[in-house]
Amino acid sequence: MRRAIFPGSFDPLTNGHLDIIKRSLPLFDEIIIAVLNNPEKNPMFSVAERCAMIEEILPEFNNGKCELIVDSFSGLTADFAKRRGASAIVRGIRAVSDYEYELRMALMNRRLEPTIETVFLMAAEEYSYVSSNLLKQVFTLGGRVEGLVPQSVEDKMKEKLGK
Ligand code: PNS
């Protein structure tokens, strides 16, 4: 059983995240999309809301081979991966600017749990500039985010800001 976790804030889920999930499907039997409980970051959506938004969209990605699970966690990603019996941590890389931060995290996670490998997947070019933080900023200031997040997520963002 090849089990991976795909950890992140997912505040909110973007089409860039979905692109990485899609690319991970053929590589693993089970992927746990692991939503970090990070109230100190003052997220737009609660953990429960973020998990619900991901759960709503996942059936579209069911390929009948890889099981997709949504869960949340607090504390260290490496600990969560170990607890759930994962052999890999999936992370997406959009541009060279991501590399340094991701490398440091991967090396630290490897030091914490030497048997768990970080697997980097390259996001599609069209999402290379898409991040949850940038989207939130653009949306909050009245910009359009269609095509960059699933429609259901855009609707929830509108609800959240009373638009
Ligand atoms: O989507 P993000 O915000 O880029 O995800 C970052 C995340 C959640 C992967 C990272 O912040 C993380 O792993 N946090 C949990 C705490 C932890 O393990 N810190 C040490 C990482 S080496």
Listing DSSP states for 105-146 in one string gives HHHHHHHH-TTPEEEEEEPPGGGTT--HHHHHHHHHTT---B
Evaluate if pTM is beyond 0.95.
yes
Please give the single-letter amino acid code of residue 149. V
24 touches ligand 1 (CB under 6 Å):
no
Q: Quick: pLDDT tens for 84-138.
A: 999 999 999 999 999 999 999 999 999 999 999 999 999 999 999 999 999 999 9
Tell how far the Cα of 77 is from the centroid of ligand 1, in angstroms: 6
Which residue, by CA, sits nearest to atom 21 of ligand 1? 105
Tell how far the Cα of 40 is from the centroid of ligand 1, in angstroms: 13
Of 32, 33, 36, 109, the residue with max ligand 1 atoms within 8 A of its CB, to mutate for a pocket test, comes to: 36
Tell how far the Cα of 157 is from the centroid of ligand 1, in angstroms: 23
Asked if 22 and 61 count as a contact pair (C-beta separation under 8 A), the reply is yes
Rounded-to-integer distance, Cα 91 and Cα 72, Å: 16
